[in-house]
Structure 1
């Protein structure tokens, strides 16, 4: 019996649909715009070289590869931010700069769960699969990050 295969991926459509989402995720993990761009490019390159032909969800595959690549970058000893993030973003106000500093002071593992949950809409179970950890670990990281952001923002953050 022949099984239907997924149609081939339209490269241009895939890049157009996924690049901003992947970049925001990489920036949330790495905290450095140029490193985030490099990580996204590496994820797309890995897709071209290694993605299975019968992928059901190319976006999910790319996200998993990107998160793993970002985690590897964080482990590299030579990786040190040289320019504070707010200097690379368009002229934030002093209050916005303070908030960015606090957000990027969160450990990378807390930043990534905040980003994946609130900006990308992943459930704790899905985040756990992406990060190769337990759902309880994701929930505790979310809780810890929410508490710190709640103190920063002086109100509700859910």
Structure 2
């Protein structure tokens, strides 16, 4: 909880809220796939963080304050994704064990479980933007263009992040792991960057 906020600081934060909240809410809504309650919470958490760090944030230019809020919102969503992914791997592991009935199934499922756990560890060590791109593409099944629009980066940058993600996974898991590449678009049909 932020300590008591002075009246002057409260006015400055209220001015920032008036200037940024609408765009931040729109961004937060895209991050949480339109969940109104979750996007409201995300905006509240970002401004709560701003109030907590106001002594550092107040001296920045308005554009830097805005960018700071957007980064806080994105990082909070990424943290939630990572926490959810760790839980999901554990649930998948238990589901695989429960479904395994024959000895050959047990071996295949054990190898699959270990591979998934290794993949999760590699993903958790990735840079936050690369993790976001990999998660949105492979887990959420978003297209390169959708990810680029959400993150405000070029589609070619998304493809580079995906390539490096595949390379990191291949290095950790060995050459036997089949990682599919982005489909190559025919000439003249490239996604706009």
Please give the range of the TM-score, normalised by the shorter of the 2 chains: 0.3 to 0.5
Larger Rg: 2
Which structure: greater helix fraction?
Answer: 2
TM-score (structure 2 length as normaliser): 0.37
TM-score (structure 1 length as normaliser): 0.44
